[in-house]
Each structure stands twice: as C-alpha cells, then as structure tokens.
Amino acid sequence: MPAAIITHEHGGSDAGPAPLHDFSTNASPLPAPPALLDALLGADRSRYPDPAYTALREQLGAAEGVSAARVLPASGGAEAIRRLSLAALLCGLRQVWVPQPGFGDYAAAASALGLQLHPYEHLDQVCEGLLRWQAPALVWVCDPCNPTGESPARADWLALDAALAETHSPLVLDQAYEPLRLNGASELPPALAARCWRLVCPNKALALTGVRAAYLLAPENDVIGLFAHARRLAPSWVLSAEGCALLMHWHSESTQAHLRQLRPRLSAWRDTQHHMLSQLNWQQRDSSTPFWLARPPQDSEGLLSGLRTRGIKLRDARSFGLAGWLRLSTQTPASQLALLNALQELSTR
Ligand SMILES: Cc1ncc(COP(=O)(O)O)c(C=O)c1O
C-alpha cells in the first residue's frame, strides 16, 4: 500500500464530504462578484499564459504603486511561502522566525529545508533574538494574523524595523487577510512597508480558494538579494489562466466595491455569531477578522466530531499549539442557526 501523503493541517476541505456549514475555512462565506466569476469562466485555457505575465505584472504594479519589475506572481500564497523560504536558504540565511500561533506553512517550509526555526508569540522575541545573534534571518509576520486576527502595534513594528536594519534581515508581511479586516487598521509604518516583502492572497476574500493565485511584492532595497532567487525559482507558467484572470480583476472597481459591501455584512454576522457563543459560555478571543479563536466549555474533540457528523465543521486549534481551542469563521445566519441547533442537541445527549 502506498504511504499516506502527509499534509499540514488546514481548515476548509478535507478528504470527507464537503461540510454543509464550514466554519473551519477562513474564506469569505459570500460568493465572488459576478464580473469576476465571468472573467474566470472566460479565461483562455486553450493556450499558455504569457510566461512573463507582462500585462498582469504591469497592472498589479500600477495598482500597488510599485514598478512591474517588483511583482512576482505565484500559484497561491502557499507556493510563494515555499519559494521565498528556498530563496532565503540560497541567499545563505539559516534562521527563520515564524508566528506562533500562526499559519503552519511558514514553519513547514523552513523545516523541510532544514532551516532553524524560531517560533515567536510577540515581536519583542524576534527583536531580542535578531540582536542577540547578529545574523540575518527570514522573518514572517502575518497582519492580521491567522488564527488570532491580531495585529502588531506601531511601537512593535518600529522596534522590529530597527532590529531588521541592524541585522540585514528580510521581513515578509503576509497580508492574506488584510481585505477581510473588519475593524482597526494596520499600524505598519509606511517606511517599513516600503522596505518589506508583501504577500497578497486575494482568493480568501473572494471565496475562491480553489483558484490558486497570489503575488509577492519585492521591496526596493532587497538587502540580501532574495528577489533574483525567488524569480528564478518560479516554475514556467506558475499561474494558470484562471489564476491570471482572478489577479487581473483583483483591483477592478466592481471587485473592490464588492469588498466594501461585504465587510459591514460580515461584521454584523460576526457580532451575532459571537453573541450566540457567549450565551453558550464559550470563551472567545478578540479579533479584527471574520475568524477568531474560541474555547467551548465542553471537550472540544468530542464536540468537533459530533458537529462533523451533522455536516458542520470547525477548525481544531491543536496544531496551532492551542489544545482545547477552536478557530471558527463567520458564517451566514442560516449556518449559525444550524450550529446553534447542533450545539443544543449535542449538549442534551
Ligand atoms: C495566513 C495565510 N497565508 C497564506 C495562505 C495561503 O493561501 P493560498 O495558498 O490559498 O493563497 C493562507 C491559507 O490559509 C493563510 O492563512
């Protein structure tokens, strides 16, 4: 029998039947706007995309206010994370700082390459470690962070900026959930924003996680020369025709209008879902995103399997190092009612 393929734990789809109510995914519960869906369906699959993605990079660069030469298309954030980690290794870096709790792929990519992993809970630890070792390291920050929905404060960013500059360490800012930020704003200082790498993954906000597409924006001062490696490591036609269509429409007025309308709706739904769980004595952490960490009063493993057999999925936070906790995303009022009914039924058994 072939050995099982080991994958990292993620929310969303698994090998089982698609959940009827998926609170385990961080993707928006609202479908993508019609113009974008039309563009995906109209993507020309009969030929390869331009291998240099010239028009796409020009459009993304113009929308982001950077030169097209600094835009690197990727077949999803996960692919970009792998590629930058390998680029860092090829540049001679041996150490990687990853948020804990945080998206597991940063650590998975570093471990697969034999890089020395430093999980951090707070940016203070990164600053202290960088300054102590005085060696360049790859630093990942996710703002707002998956799974907490938290963001660093301005003072933390400033301290990090100084430590990065002193040690010539590259920062990669994962902005996968910036379009889904429901309250507050990033406190990233503009000067550091210009000096860091940025990873943009639009498929979550667009409820199109099955389309594998994202992009990296390289900083002007690429201190250790990551860019040349990251570009050379990209497979030919890294982005499919559909991926290209999605990114081409990311900054369109209709897509951005959709996002502006989506956020207040999600925010109202998040409040009702949060209130519902408070009434059921769940402990819940504050978050600026539609997803957050919560701890049910009962055994979380038994609860997850009881819900799953009822077509409802939540994300176990054990792989984030948080046993007993769950991550759940905001879902529609109909899904919230289904969750409430299932929780009540399970508590009376
Ligand atoms: C923080 C973060 N970054 C990146 C990704 C990768 O997303 P994708 O590969 O779909 O672009 C995810 C997926 O869940 C994520 O949570």
Q: How many Cα neighbours within 13 Å face the side chain of 50?
A: 10
Q: Residue 182: what pLDDT? A: 98
Among the residues of 2-121, which ranges form H helices?
Answer: 34-41, 54-64, 77-90, 104-112
Estimate to the nearest angstrom the gap between the alpha carbon of 164 and the chain centroid.
Answer: 22
**pLDDT higher than 70, residue 293:** yes
Pocket test for ligand 1, best of 174, 200, 201 (most atoms within 8 A of CB): 201
Residue 308 neighbours by CB distance under 10 Å:
16
User: Which residues touch 252 (CB under 8 Å, ≥6 apart)?
Assistant: 35, 36
**DSSP of 62-74, one letter per residue?**
HHHTS-GGGEEEE
Q: Minimal CA–CA distance to 226: which of 334, 108, 86? A: 86
The interaxial angle of helices 253-279 and 333-347, nearest 10 deg, is: 20
Sign, CA torsion 97/25/322/145:
positive
Pocket test for ligand 1, best of 26, 82, 105, 319 (most atoms within 8 A of CB): 105
pLDDT bin (cut points 50, 70, 90) of residue 3 is very low
**pLDDT higher than 60, residue 96:** yes
Q: Residue 11: what pLDDT? A: 84
Residue 324 neighbours by CB distance under 10 Å:
13
Atom number, ligand 1, closest to the C-alpha of residue 204? 10
145-187 pLDDT, tens per residue?
999 999 999 999 999 999 999 999 999 999 999 999 999 999 9
Q: Residue 1: what pLDDT? A: 38
Q: Residue 217: what pLDDT? A: 98
- Alpha-carbon span 32 to 3, nearest angstrom: 37
- Alpha-carbon span 237 to 15, nearest angstrom: 28
- 171 Cβ inside 6 Å of ligand 1: no
Dihedral, 237, 241, 244, 245 alpha carbons, nearest 10: 170
**Percentage helix, strand, coil, to 5, in the chain?**
40, 15, 45
**pLDDT higher than 90, residue 199:** yes
The answer to whether the CB of 106 falls within 8 A of the CB of 140 is: yes
The H or E element containing residue 326 is strand 326-329
**DSSP of 130-160, one letter per residue?**
HHHH-S--EEEEESSPTTT-----HHHHHHH
- 78 Cβ inside 6 Å of ligand 1: yes
The answer to whether the CB of 29 falls within 8 A of the CB of 226 is: no
pLDDT bin (cut points 50, 70, 90) of residue 215 is very high
Q: Residue 16: what pLDDT? A: 80
Task: Give the distance (Å) from ligand 1 centre to CA of residue 347.
Answer: 34
pTM of the model: 0.96
Task: Give the distance (Å) from ligand 1 centre to CA of residue 348.
Answer: 37
User: Which residues touch 134 (CB under 8 Å, ≥6 apart)?
Assistant: 166, 167
Amino acid in position 69: A
- 75 Cβ inside 6 Å of ligand 1: no
Q: Residue 170: what pLDDT? A: 97
pLDDT bin (cut points 50, 70, 90) of residue 5 is very low
What mean pLDDT comes out for the span 42-46? 97
Give me the residues paired with residue 171 across strands: 139
Amino acid in position 185: A
- 216 Cβ inside 6 Å of ligand 1: no
Task: Give the distance (Å) from ligand 1 centre to CA of residue 77.
Answer: 5
What mean pLDDT comes out for the span 196-216? 98
- 201 Cβ inside 6 Å of ligand 1: yes
Residue 226 neighbours by CB distance under 10 Å:
23
Among the residues of the chain, which ranges form H helices?
Answer: 34-41, 54-64, 77-90, 104-112, 123-133, 154-167, 190-195, 226-232, 241-248, 253-279, 300-308, 333-347
